[in-house]
Structure 1
Amino acid sequence: MSDQKVMNRWLVVVGAILMQLCLGAIYAWSVFTPKLVDKAGKYGFSATQAAWIFSVGILVFAFTMIISGRMMVKVGPRKLSVASAIVLGAGYVLGGFFGNTFVSQLVLIGFVGGIGIGLGYVVPIAVGVKWFPDKKGLVTGLAVAGFGFGATMWVKSAGSWFRLLDNLNFFGLGGVQSVFLLYGVIFFILIFLGSFVMIDPPAGYTPAGWKPPVPTAGASASGSVDFMPGEMMKKPQFYMSWFTFLFSSMAGLMIISCIALLGIDALSANGVSKDVARGVAGTAMAWYAILNGLGRIVWGTVSDKIGRKLAIFLMCLFQGIIMFLFYKMSGSAATLIIGACIIGFNFGGNFALFPAITADYFGNKNVGLNYGYVFVSYGIAGVLGPQIAGFFKDAAKGSTDPAVWITPLMIAGVACFVGAFITLLQKPPKKA
């Protein structure tokens, strides 16, 4: 194989980030919730309804991952990326034209948009691991960093940078639906461009100077011993990883869904005007997204040094602690933003650590298939976290007392501690 015929593997990372900038737009959902739940506005949704649109998007995204892992084997990563561009773009464009009710937004933004995300998300992870078997933690972090970083761009563009929610009004649709329409067009273009470098390396490819470990019979899998999904699901390590991912991601998803409402309630209770509070909450969302992206890179790199197990344990432990402190921190602008940064940073680590440990334990070859099954736990967390927060907010019957957020934050914190404990029990699986 001639070196000149092999693509520069870092182009895969560039394409991955380009795609994930768009796929991560679902993490910007909280920027829409104040307008959606405004009882005097166009929509008048309940907090639970607004959370359901986000939750369905996350849930459908996760379950689509199982299908997309299998589809990628049949059609290849590039075609699957193009399908993601079409479906995600169409969901948001149609949401712009027809998303004037809860049901239409649930279907178009949540369900159709979730399918579009799920079709594309697995591609850069699976392709990246094949190009970078020597840097799995780093490359999975980089490959999904855009998913976290992207939300910053979409949040701030809709909010304080360009005030698109206030200034756009395509075809008389109003701010929210006009933003959906614009974003859908952008998503299609950027994911389509990223798809051009989503190709697998040549057969037998290894990075220059790197020698893969030689597996022996009965040895622990470390990326070279490959499990099929059916074999993987017979191992307790699969279920331990599944539940740890569920518990650790639930906290971050809860905050994504409610940080705007929580921040406005907490800051207003401390004498900050609602307009200022809304701006601060938007800034907290943006910093959350930035640190979400950064956390994917840092935690992935750290795990290459200290091991996946210790990295996941520390991530869960730190997240549990900050969730217990976040209610007190949310009452001032500075500490709200600091807390959002820490939660976002830890949350981002999930998306570098769990695909990497899936590859370590169950092999590089089938990581696109296997990670889809692990990722279902994230979809369940996308329902539990936001719905727990929405339930307690709606149960307060219109109250803006920030104390309504204490219980959901505590529940999420305890879940993180449980995830940390489960991680301590993990050992690599063996395959005869």
Structure 2
Amino acid sequence: MIRRPQPSLSRKADAIFKEPPMADATASSASSKNRWWIVVGALLIQLCLGAIYAWGAFTVALQNKPPDVAMALDPTLLGVRDRGAYDAVQSEFKKLLEAQAKAQQGTDQAALTQARDAIADFKKTRLTESWIDATFDRAVFNRQVFGFSAQQTQWIFSAGLAAFALVMILAGRWQDKAGPRIVALVGGVILGLGYVLGGLSGTSFPLMLIFIGLVGGAGIGLGYVCPIAASVKWFPDMKGFITGLAVAGFGAGAFIFVKLAGSWAQLIYQYGVNGTFLIFGGIFAVTVVLGALLLSTPPADYRPAGWTPPQPAGGAKKSADNLTQGQTVRTPQFWMTWAAFVLSAGCGLMVIGSLKNFGEKEGGLSAAAAANAIGLLALFNGLGRVVWGTLSQKMGARVALILMVFLQAAMMFLLPTMGSTELKLAVAGCWVGFNFGGNFALFPLLTAEFFGTKNLGANYGAVFTAYGVGGILGPIMAGTIYDASKTYQTAFYIAGGACVLAGVIALVLRPPKPSEDLTANAAAA
């Protein structure tokens, strides 16, 4: 009997994840409707990837000392032994917090100072080590005490951002060749795995840096570019709006996961930091895989029915088209775009990582009030992506970028004065989030306008390394300055100057020469 060769595992996988071919380049009415499933998949993926911006919800819990831990988490989670003693102390502490909140709503600075001093004195005299030992099972209690410095929390955040940006170079090239589906699917599995392992890492800073930062960031880097590249190719007729919508999920996801960790589900209160990581990891893996299965790539010459390509706006009429990554990185426009992205993104990432701590530690706001500002920042991050993407269709990505970074600079210079009340901090969060979100609509559009859409995944992957650099410089600078001076004021002023410099770069930025000039220059060289 002749045995037929069996297909290999890799061929079986290709058969499962292979994207269905399109019959022709002109979209039928059916395919025009089907392309909206790409947007659904993009939003599902980005909702989970955006959880990296929910990191601010964890920073205070990771820095809390034993007295703060005792009052911040579910006593059952902490191994309470004497519930009556705990409830009595907790009741007194809540009254002090209420007095502080009332003082913050008024204009009497002396009353506010008195309320803050009363809380500090209560922690020192009532929430003592001996009280903790008598009230809790200390071995269980210590599982929730991380005691990280502000700088350490920012190292984890920055490691995630750096891994995100660096892996996106590989992801962009891979998805340009293999399509977005398999790349996004692998990214979802790795992201979920990173958070699950982080949840099992106890209070170890090195393990959390590796699993939440590096592994989780790598998963985000694999998944992020896929829905953007697919959406831009399927929607050339509404590129700005769709790009903004596709990445809006990133900001909206941060809002959702901040709220799940805090006021909506109180996951950190009930399950602690590690338990919340485990829950998030499961959600990430399932949701990103489902979204990835909805992604596909249109034919190379695809055009929606009845659509004729318009002239690009905003000074991009003479841009070079469809440059390879190698050609792109040899243009001065790439490096100017990259530098502007470092400065603008670094500013926003610094605030995301420090705003909650700023509100609580410098402004004296409650944990809930500071968390609300982070949630609003995340929500407006998503809104800003849609609005700035839509505006770019009218004024061009470069002009929109100029306006955005100068608006952000204004808030950076005001931010040191915005932490004293819940309303001010909320306004600051909305403003910073709205403009920060614009980066992720405008820079991919600028990349497409300047260097073409054919190799957008690879080219934007190269541009996006700027995000990783900004993610290291901004948050770590803020954490270092705060640890040394106990204030973020200097860091905010530096960020304002960085935004001004980004605006100057954008003002002088112009598109590359057309492809024939690039070819001639290469031959002459």
Output the TM-score relative to the length of structure 2: 0.76
Amino acid at match of 2:238: K
The CA distance in 2 between the partners of 1:210 and 1:221, in whole Å, is 21
The match for 1:176 is: 273
Which structure 2 residues correspond to residues 299-378 of structure 1 after superposition, within 5 A? 299-378=388-467
2:28 matched to 1:3?
A: yes
The CA distance in 2 between the partners of 1:51 and 1:375, in whole Å, is 20
Which structure 2 residues correspond to residues 69-148 of structure 1 after superposition, within 5 A? 69-148=172-251
SS in 1 for 2:237: coil
The match for 2:344 is: 248
SS in 2 for 1:134: helix
The CA distance in 2 between the partners of 1:203 and 1:343, in whole Å, is 38
The CA distance in 2 between the partners of 1:221 and 1:370, in whole Å, is 18
User: Which residue of the other structure, out of 276, 279, 282, is the alignment partner of 2:371?
Assistant: 282
The match for 2:171 is: 68
2:346 matched to 1:257?
A: no
> What runs of 5+ residues in structure 1 fail to find an aligned partner?
169-174
**CA distance change for structure 1 residues 361 and 39 in 2, over 3 Å: closer, same or farther?**
same
Aligned residues: 409
Deviation string 1:102-125 (CA, Å, 9 cap, x unpaired) is 000000000000100000000011
8 Å Cα contact 1:296-1:348 kept in structure 2: yes
Amino acid at match of 1:31: A
The match for 1:171 is: none
The CA distance in 2 between the partners of 1:295 and 1:158, in whole Å, is 23
User: Which residue of the other structure, out of 55, 61, 76, is the alignment partner of 1:29?
Assistant: 55
Shift of 1:33: 0.7
The CA distance in 1 between the partners of 2:246 and 2:278, in whole Å, is 26
8 Å Cα contact 2:176-2:455 kept in structure 1: no
8 Å Cα contact 1:145-1:296 kept in structure 2: yes
The match for 1:16 is: 42
Shift of 1:59: 0.5
Shift of 1:221: 5.0
The match for 1:429 is: 512
The CA distance in 1 between the partners of 2:288 and 2:155, in whole Å, is 26
The CA distance in 1 between the partners of 2:427 and 2:311, in whole Å, is 45
**CA distance change for structure 1 residues 305 and 4 in 2, over 3 Å: closer, same or farther?**
closer
The CA distance in 1 between the partners of 2:508 and 2:367, in whole Å, is 43
**CA distance change for structure 1 residues 211 and 191 in 2, over 3 Å: closer, same or farther?**
same
8 Å Cα contact 1:221-1:360 kept in structure 2: no
8 Å Cα contact 1:99-1:108 kept in structure 2: no
The CA distance in 1 between the partners of 2:48 and 2:488, in whole Å, is 30
The match for 2:88 is: none
User: Which residue of the other structure, out of 306, 314, 332, is the alignment partner of 1:236?
Assistant: 332
Name the structure, 1 or 2, with higher relative contact order (CA <8 Å, separation 6+). 1
The CA distance in 1 between the partners of 2:173 and 2:41, in whole Å, is 21
8 Å Cα contact 2:166-2:221 kept in structure 1: yes
8 Å Cα contact 2:28-2:305 kept in structure 1: no
Please identify the structure whose Cα radius of gyration is greater: 2
Deviates more, 1:130-139 or 1:418-427: 130-139
The match for 1:410 is: 493
The CA distance in 1 between the partners of 2:393 and 2:30, in whole Å, is 29
The match for 2:477 is: 388
Amino acid at match of 1:187: F
The CA distance in 2 between the partners of 1:4 and 1:145, in whole Å, is 26
User: Which residue of the other structure, out of 158, 162, 184, is the alignment partner of 2:265?
Assistant: 162
Shift of 1:351: 0.1
**CA distance change for structure 1 residues 214 and 414 in 2, over 3 Å: closer, same or farther?**
closer
2:282 matched to 1:185?
A: yes
8 Å Cα contact 2:384-2:438 kept in structure 1: yes
The CA distance in 1 between the partners of 2:230 and 2:179, in whole Å, is 10
Deviation string 1:5-42 (CA, Å, 9 cap, x unpaired) is 62622211111011000001010001111111113251
**CA distance change for structure 1 residues 318 and 214 in 2, over 3 Å: closer, same or farther?**
closer
Percentage identity across paired residues of the two chains: 49
8 Å Cα contact 2:161-2:471 kept in structure 1: yes
Runs of 4 or more, structure 1, over 3 Å off, are: 219-222
SS in 2 for 1:160: coil
Shift of 1:307: 1.1
SS in 2 for 1:78: helix
Shift of 1:251: 1.3
The CA distance in 2 between the partners of 1:110 and 1:352, in whole Å, is 24
The CA distance in 2 between the partners of 1:54 and 1:68, in whole Å, is 20
SS in 2 for 1:43: coil
8 Å Cα contact 2:248-2:386 kept in structure 1: yes
Amino acid at match of 1:426: L
2:253 matched to 1:150?
A: yes
The match for 2:294 is: 197
User: Which residue of the other structure, out of 58, 64, 67, is the alignment partner of 1:38?
Assistant: 64
Amino acid at match of 1:227: L
Shift of 1:205: 1.4
8 Å Cα contact 1:247-1:419 kept in structure 2: yes
SS in 1 for 2:236: coil
User: CA-atom RMSD, angstroms?
Assistant: 1.6
Shift of 1:203: 3.9
Deviation string 1:159-214 (CA, Å, 9 cap, x unpaired) is 1111111112xxxxxx1000000000000111011012210013421012212359
The CA distance in 2 between the partners of 1:255 and 1:226, in whole Å, is 35
The CA distance in 1 between the partners of 2:433 and 2:311, in whole Å, is 37
The CA distance in 1 between the partners of 2:311 and 2:165, in whole Å, is 33
Output the TM-score relative to the length of structure 1: 0.92
Amino acid at match of 1:81: A
> What runs of 5+ residues in structure 2 fail to find an aligned partner?
1-23, 70-144, 517-525
SS in 2 for 1:98: coil
The CA distance in 2 between the partners of 1:329 and 1:47, in whole Å, is 20
The CA distance in 2 between the partners of 1:332 and 1:25, in whole Å, is 26
**CA distance change for structure 1 residues 100 and 221 in 2, over 3 Å: closer, same or farther?**
farther
Amino acid at match of 1:52: W
The match for 2:103 is: none
Shift of 1:4: 6.1
